[in-house]
Structure 1
Amino acid sequence: MTVFYVICFDVHDAKRLRKVSNEMENFGVRVQRSVFECHLESGQLQELKRRLDKLMNPTEDQVRYYNLCGKDKLHIVIDGSGRVSADPDYNLL
């Protein structure tokens, strides 16, 4: 079962930032410069954390993982352009 996460990060080195951003693109959809929406299974989340841990400097950088349930996702408000990413496993017709 996939879970919806909003993952945001603050990386202080340009080279590390580029590597973290590239890795995040393998797991989710970029919605802002350092914010991604991801639909992940437990194993995928653990793999993402493992990969990011290798890229980041724990004394300078941080990643935040926000787990949103289905009800929370219904209350996301976006001002301006953009939309909430769809779960790739499900399509509403």
Structure 2
Amino acid sequence: MMMTPERLEELAAMSDPDKLWQLDINERKALPPEKKAQLEISIALRRYAVHQQRLSIALKSKQSLLITPMSKNSQAVKFVDIPADTRPKLLSEALSA
């Protein structure tokens, strides 16, 4: 079952009622371990929500989503056309799922 980006955002908000994700880096470093875990959970859920939203956009626009790691904490994201020889098979499988 795929969760919608909206539901993932709701879960992120529920997991971080203190809005720790809005703290600056120095405040984050000073958090106790249980608050750091709370922060990591909410950030992971938000990142997954963004990823699911991008996948949905790619599917609707009949494109591929390329994600290239740039460093440990960053990535380049690009939507590109699906090669013509694979397009019919990929789209029919995705749309029927």
Question: TM-score scaled by structure 1?
Answer: 0.29
The answer to which structure has the higher helix fraction is: 2
Q: If each structure's strand is expressed as a fraction of its own residues, which one has the higher value? A: 1
User: Larger radius of gyration, structure 1 or 2?
Assistant: 2
Higher relative CO (Cα under 8 Å, sequence separation at least 6) belongs to 1
**TM-score relative to the length of structure 2:** 0.28
